[in-house]
Amino acid sequence: MAPTSQPASTAVPGVKKHDVSLYQFFAPGGVLSRTHPAYEFRRGQLQMAQSVEQALEEKRHLIVEAGTGTGKTLAYLVPVIRSGKRVIISTGTKNLQEQLFHKDIPFLEQALFPDGEGRLNVCYMKGRNNYLCRKKLYDLTGQPVLSGLEEIEHYRAIAAWEKMTQTGDRAELAELPEASALWHKIDARSDACLGQKCSSWDKCFITEMHRRAMESDIIIVNHHLFFADLSIKQQAEYAPDAGILPEVGAVIFDEAHELEDVAGSYFGVSVSNGRVEELCRDVEASLQRNHLLSVSMSGALKSLRERSMFFFALLPQGEGRFSFENRRDFLEENGDEFMAVQQSLARLRSELENLQSKPEEVFNFARRAQELQVQFGFLMESEDPNTVFWIERRRSGRDKFNVYLQATPIDVAPILKTCLFDKLECAVLTSATLAVGGGFEYMRRRLGLEHTQESVLPSHFDYENQALFYVPPDLPDPRTPQFAAKAADRIRRLLEITRGRAFVLFTSYAQMNDVYQRLLGELDFPMLLQGDAPKSALLEEFRLTPNAVLFATSSFWQGVDVQGEQLSCVIIDRLPFAVPSDPVVAARVKSIDAEGGNAFFQYQVPAAVITLKQGFGRLIRSLHDRGLLALLDNRILKKAYGRVFVESLPNYRKTTEIKVVEEFFGVV
Ligand code: SF4
């Protein structure tokens, strides 16, 4: 991305601190009480706002756990507005981005600036693949590369929309299906972007988004966009034109419990057979269009395709994610095939560079070929001790696979410390689930945070009366084969008491399917199963179907909000320890143990605590919610580490007796 003419600044000219103090805003009788229809005084909200304001003023980092019901978005937005600083707010989910942009900020503008004076400039940015690349669309015009009637129809709809849209955001095109293959060919991903040299640069939607961000007081992004941008800046050694996010005075990370995973994926390296094919396809289409596809260029493309196919087929077999520890042995045996791919990439690059009077995009293809060469080299030959190398194989058709060679940092803490926290004046990390055993040592260590202010806010909910936490002491260990049958029986009994209205959440698909099959036809309530429909459709059906029971896995453990009686019970099958054979988890465990630490207590237990808190957090979403939380894994009672889980959960009323559950629901 090119520099804009506006100098980078972390303060937004024209925005003044608002006269209303935090107390005058949040306290009873204050601005919020007069403007918000559902106002309640929340001590934790005021406390959080004061901590955020202090962190912004003192230019320090802050980590704050604010449970559901605190009203944390207003608690950081008000001090952000008062600070007059340009601030990025990065969230984990699209729902929260939309809530901030469409609900919370307009509400605050109305409350703080009723006469319109001092209104905020706010910009909502999504990942680049949500926006149309005008150049790609124009290049497609008149080309015979559209496949099938559906693509032609989509093309027509997009071409008509492109003439009217101000943003280029595909969300405006409701009729375009999520999985449109055409969109993937014409979105504005950075891979194929020509930046300032593009003929459509002036009217490019990404240029426009960048310009809007430079003029904004508040920029709303998600963690993926934030870390993608940060890693581009880091690779470009912070050149002023790198990335699309401007310099800011602070970053607020909401849903911050997801930071380690997202950061890990963007500071890693990934090369796939699909990526090589995409490069070949783009080169071919462009050269055909420009009448530059010579015999030798076709030969170079053919050779790269063949060699890449051969090389990826040779990689160790297996589906899903698995470690690639024996890279050396693999290279001993298959070094020639690896070199052949590298040579084909080098040949393509040199063919591209030697083209006479070439269009601008050809330079970009040469850069992509070189990048692939460098990354292949790193993935196969690097001995970096802080990186885990692994393979992911995903089915993409009947006999087709996408194969990814991956490298992920084992510990992102040193990277985040140098690239992010040491460079930022103020970072605020918040979520309903950050603390373990009442403290932040785990998060600080995993994320490389030092010298932070910390705060765990009191809950706004009366958990002791609103939620009953039940653990059956008599069920077998969930790792034994007897568990599924006994667990299914107990789930049936619990659902009879709660009359359905439940999420039954599992730590694996296999366990979910097993228990679902055992209960099929046995329950008097409608049963919904993850995978039978898209997530949003399933949730909608759950909300609309009286007494429904939803069986689901990890994707429903967070970011799902069902208020009211319709969700009166959350059952979790077992303590959610990350799969120990997962290559990234295994490497982290090994590394902590090798340094003399205790990976189980320093990494696996705290990570599972955070996940369990997220899962149970689905139940109580408002002051009026009430219900049952059941954990069918009694290791929480029997093992020494169980205490850490119990001490980290809110103070639910606890029981091991089914009779108490019956009483709680008034069943005699
Ligand atoms: S600048 Fe990049 S994203 Fe924008 S139209 Fe050109 S190629 Fe597409």
Asked whether the predicted pLDDT for residue 103 surpasses 90, the reply is yes
User: In the structure encoding, which two tokens stand for residue 419, read together?
Assistant: 């690239």
Give the residue, out of 130, 135, 203, 210, with the most ligand 1 atoms within 8 A of its beta carbon, to mutate for a pocket test. Answer: 135
DSSP 171: G
What is the C-alpha separation between 273 and 306, in angstroms, rounded? Answer: 11
Cα of 470 vs centre of ligand 1, distance in Å, is: 55
Q: Whose CA is nearest to atom 6 of ligand 1?
A: 198
Give residues (CB < 6 A) around ligand 1: 133-135, 188, 193-195, 198, 200-201, 204, 206
User: In the structure encoding, which two tokens stand for residue 437, read together?
Assistant: 């055993």
What's the confidence (pLDDT) of residue 144? 59
Asked whether the predicted pLDDT for residue 18 surpasses 60, the reply is no
Cα of 300 vs centre of ligand 1, distance in Å, is: 27
132: left (phi over 0), alpha (psi -120 to 50) or beta: beta
Give the residue, out of 129, 134, 361, 364, with the most ligand 1 atoms within 8 A of its beta carbon, to mutate for a pocket test. Answer: 134
What pLDDT, in 10s, does the model give residues 481-518?
Answer: 999 999 999 999 999 999 999 999 999 999 999 999 99
Closest-lying ligand 1 atom to the alpha carbon of residue 136: 8
User: Residue 27: helix, strand or coil by DSSP?
Assistant: coil
Does residue 64 contact residue 194 with C-beta atoms inside 8 Å? no
Cα of 268 vs centre of ligand 1, distance in Å, is: 25
What's the confidence (pLDDT) of residue 237? 74
Closest-lying ligand 1 atom to the alpha carbon of residue 192: 7
Give the residue, out of 131, 207, 211, 244, with the most ligand 1 atoms within 8 A of its beta carbon, to mutate for a pocket test. Answer: 207
Q: Whose CA is nearest to atom 7 of ligand 1?
A: 193
Contacting residues for 384 by C-beta, under 8 A, at least 6 apart: 407
What's the confidence (pLDDT) of residue 240? 67
Asked whether the predicted pLDDT for residue 16 surpasses 70, the reply is no
Closest CA to 259 of 440, 76, 50: 440
Asked whether the predicted pLDDT for residue 15 surpasses 60, the reply is no
What is the C-alpha separation between 615 and 137, in angstroms, rounded? Answer: 43
200-238 b/e (C-beta count within 10 Å ≥ 16 → b) = bbeebbbbebbebbbebbbbbbbbbbbbbbbbbbbeeee
Cα of 511 vs centre of ligand 1, distance in Å, is: 46
Confidence at 236, pLDDT banded by 50, 70, 90: confident
- The sheet with strand 627-631 has its strands ordered as 527-529, 549-552, 502-505, 569-572, 627-631, 467-470, 653-655
What's the confidence (pLDDT) of residue 418? 94
What's the confidence (pLDDT) of residue 8? 38
Average pLDDT value for residue range 169-192: 86
Give the residue, out of 1, 128, 193, with the most ligand 1 atoms within 8 A of its beta carbon, to mutate for a pocket test. Answer: 193
Cα of 86 vs centre of ligand 1, distance in Å, is: 26
- The sheet with strand 387-395 has its strands ordered as 269-272, 401-409, 387-395, 320-323
What's the confidence (pLDDT) of residue 139? 86
Contacting residues for 487 by C-beta, under 8 A, at least 6 apart: 475, 478, 515, 573, 632
Cα of 196 vs centre of ligand 1, distance in Å, is: 8
What is the C-alpha separation between 364 and 592, in angstroms, rounded? Answer: 41
**Which of residues 492 and 563 earns the better pLDDT score?**
492
What's the confidence (pLDDT) of residue 142? 67
Closest CA to 371 of 410, 342, 351, 336: 342
What's the confidence (pLDDT) of residue 659? 96
Does residue 233 contact residue 101 with C-beta atoms inside 8 Å? no
What's the confidence (pLDDT) of residue 149? 78
Q: Whose CA is nearest to atom 4 of ligand 1?
A: 204
What's the confidence (pLDDT) of residue 2? 31
What pLDDT, in 10s, does the model give residues 613-655?
Answer: 999 998 998 888 999 999 999 999 999 999 999 999 999 999 9
Confidence at 145, pLDDT banded by 50, 70, 90: low
**Backbone torsions φ then ψ of 92, nearest 5 degrees:** -85, -25
Give the residue, out of 162, 205, 206, with the most ligand 1 atoms within 8 A of its beta carbon, to mutate for a pocket test. Answer: 206
Residue tagged 């692939």 (tokens): 372
What is the C-alpha separation between 224 and 222, in angstroms, rounded? Answer: 5
Cα of 188 vs centre of ligand 1, distance in Å, is: 6
Neighbours of 332 (CB within 10 A): 9
Cα of 290 vs centre of ligand 1, distance in Å, is: 18
Average pLDDT value for residue range 185-191: 87
Closest-lying ligand 1 atom to the alpha carbon of residue 134: 5
Does residue 50 contact residue 415 with C-beta atoms inside 8 Å? no
What pLDDT, in 10s, does the model give residues 412-466?
Answer: 999 999 999 999 999 999 999 999 999 999 999 999 999 899 999 988 899 999 9
- The sheet with strand 250-253 has its strands ordered as 122-124, 218-222, 87-91, 250-253, 427-431, 61-65, 452-456
What pLDDT, in 10s, does the model give residues 312-363?
Answer: 999 999 889 999 989 999 999 999 999 999 999 999 999 999 998 888 889 9
What pLDDT, in 10s, does the model give residues 272-324?
Answer: 999 999 999 999 989 998 899 999 999 999 999 999 999 999 999 988 999 99
Confidence at 561, pLDDT banded by 50, 70, 90: confident
List helix spans (H) across 382-498. 413-416, 441-447, 463-466, 483-498
User: Residue 122: helix, strand or coil by DSSP?
Assistant: strand
